[in-house]
């Protein structure tokens, strides 16, 4: 198997909620297509009269609830997820009579919201979440098209995409076993080894990479802060925000254990509710699971007073575990269900807690393995196609499981845990392959059908 050559900063992406697969990925794909058609010869663009984008898989099934239509329009209007504001997305007119103008570089093209078309949920493309933008002439002939796959966490891929040129990792690894071997042979701690790989892959200096990781943590903390003070109802289902209530109850709780858990719940709810409202979050590893890691970071920062270096090193460990999950299985709910989103996030958060607490690498693996193991089989069945029920509460449960996994790993002796992380990741992939499509983000089974709000 080839070594992992994905950067941590590709795993932790900044962008608007509520979904990395349905919002960030489609926006990136649409903007990429805009750049491609702008590069076409004038003789081709002069014949273009309209543009359409067809959505497949869960993009078609739950696109409106996940903000896909707005995201595609924003991308075609040259907006990037990293800089696109929630206010801009919210201002986009999706009414049938709305008209948007695309700049092709000296020539305009009219785009209507109805030109973003939900198509088949079942299809023959290689990835479940596929979108196909087409540039058309007066007769409907295709002047250019691309098939983009939104493969989870904001990652996209299109057929015929050239291989991106990047450096080779100094210490190659592809699973937990080979990572532990690289650590043993190098004699380096995990965060230093991964940083050396990052500099080799990206060509950037360590100071720059660390500054970007700090920026990721700032975005996570900002989502928690906003969510803790926000009140009212979330768009879509009209679900009431609860983070501020949980925080108030935590402050008033008499029990130390109850107070501790309520604070952790409040932090997870806060970031997850911000994501559901379309606020700016960091994928960790997805937008739908973007409350888990911010919650444990807030806990470590506010209650255990860990310094920035410990938090940063913990985030590096979390990202490394996330890359292992993505490389050997999937982080996309449309592929493996919510075990690949909340499960992966809980697994990463457990590793973060263990590493930031100074535990050895075998205990970091044990914490991650326990957290992921106890999310196996978790379905992705969002009510109404919105990233709210059960997604917000699942972020809190994922954070709590991560903390408990860390506690168990911290008191175990080396060699007592028989199940390794690699085996659990394989089990997650196999479980996801066996899982019915109605439990993979399509909102056609499970809680999506049994909730009265459907």
pLDDT at 417 over 90: no
d(CA 343, CA 349) in angstroms, rounded, equals 10
**For helices 58-66 and 68-76, what crossing angle results, to 10°?**
90
The pLDDT tens digits for 146-188 are 999 999 999 999 988 888 888 999 999 999 999 999 999 999 9
Q: Which residues pair with 131 in a beta bridge?
A: 55, 148
CATH architecture for segment(s) 8-158: 2-Layer Sandwich (3.30)
Whether the CB-CB separation of 309 and 296 falls below 8 Å is answered with no
Name the percent of the chain lying above pLDDT 70.
99
240: confidence class by pLDDT, cuts 50, 70, 90: very high
Residue 24's pLDDT is 96
Domain boundaries of the chain, sorted by first residue: 8-158, 176-450
Cβ atoms 428, 336 nearer than 8 A: yes
For the cut 70, the answer to whether the pLDDT of residue 130 exceeds it is yes
Q: What is the pLDDT of residues 39-73, one digit of tens each?
A: 999 999 989 999 999 999 989 988 888 889 999 99
Q: How far is CA 389 from CA 49, 213, 236, 277, 381, in A?
A: 41, 30, 11, 13, 8
pLDDT bracket for residue 11 (50, 70, 90)? very high
Q: Over the stretch 252-299, which tens digit does the pLDDT of each residue have?
A: 887 788 899 999 999 999 999 999 999 999 999 999 999 999 999 999
Strand 156-158 relative to strand 148-150, pairing: antiparallel
């Amino acid at each position: 198997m080839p070594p992992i050559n994905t950067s941590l900063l590709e795993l932790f992406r900044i962008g608007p909620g509520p979904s990395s697969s349905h919002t960030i990925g489609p926006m990136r794909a649409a903007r990429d297509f805009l750049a491609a058609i702008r590069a076409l010869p004038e003789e081709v663009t002069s014949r273009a009269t309209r543009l359409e984008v067809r959505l497949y898989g869960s993009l078609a099934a739950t696109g409106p609830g996940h903000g896909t239509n707005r995201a595609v329009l924003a991308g075609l209007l040259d907006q990037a997820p990293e800089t696109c504001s929630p206010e801009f997305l919210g201002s986009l007119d999706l009414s049938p009579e709305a008209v948007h103008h695309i700049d092709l570089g000296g020539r305009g093209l009219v785009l209507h919201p109805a030109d973003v078309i939900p198509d088949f949920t079942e299809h023959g493309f290689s990835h479940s979440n596929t979108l196909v933008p087409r540039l058309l002439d007066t007769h409907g002939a295709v002047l250019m098209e691309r098939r983009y796959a939104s493969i989870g966490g904001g990652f996209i891929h299109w057929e015929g995409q050239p291989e991106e040129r990047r450096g080779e990792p100094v210490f190659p690894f592809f699973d937990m076993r080979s990572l532990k071997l690289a650590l043993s042979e190098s004699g380096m701690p995990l965060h230093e080894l991964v940083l050396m790989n990052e500099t080799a892959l990206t060509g950037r200096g360590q100071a720059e990479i660390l500054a970007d990781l700090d920026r990721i943590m700032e975005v996570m903390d900002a989502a928690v802060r906003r969510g803790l003070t926000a009140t009212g109802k979330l768009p879509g289902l009209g679900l009431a925000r609860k983070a501020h209530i949980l925080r108030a109850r935590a402050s008033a709780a008499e029990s130390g254990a109850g107070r501790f858990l309520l604070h952790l719940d409040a932090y997870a709810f806060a970031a997850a509710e911000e994501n559901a409202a379309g606020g700016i979050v960091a994928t960790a590893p997805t937008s739908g699971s973007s409350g888990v890691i911010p919650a444990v970071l807030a806990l470590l920062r506010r209650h255990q007073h860990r310094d920035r270096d410990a938090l940063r090193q913990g985030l590096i460990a979390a990202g490394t575990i996330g890359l292992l999950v993505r490389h050997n299985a999937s982080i996309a709910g449309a592929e493996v269900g919510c075990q690949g989103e909340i499960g992966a996030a809980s697994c990463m958060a457990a590793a973060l807690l263990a590493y930031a607490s100074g535990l050895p690498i075998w205990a970091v693996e044990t914490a991650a393995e326990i957290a992921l193991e106890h999310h196996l089989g978790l379905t992705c069945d969002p009510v109404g196609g919105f990233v709210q029920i059960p997604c917000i509460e699942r972020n809190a449960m994922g954070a709590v499981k991560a903390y408990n996994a860390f506690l168990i790993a911290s008191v175990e002796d080396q060699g007592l845990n028989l199940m390794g992380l690699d085996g659990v990741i394989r089990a997650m992939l196999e479980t996801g392959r066996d899982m019915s499509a109605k439990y993979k983000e399509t909102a056609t089974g499970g809680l999506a059908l049994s909730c009265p709000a459907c």
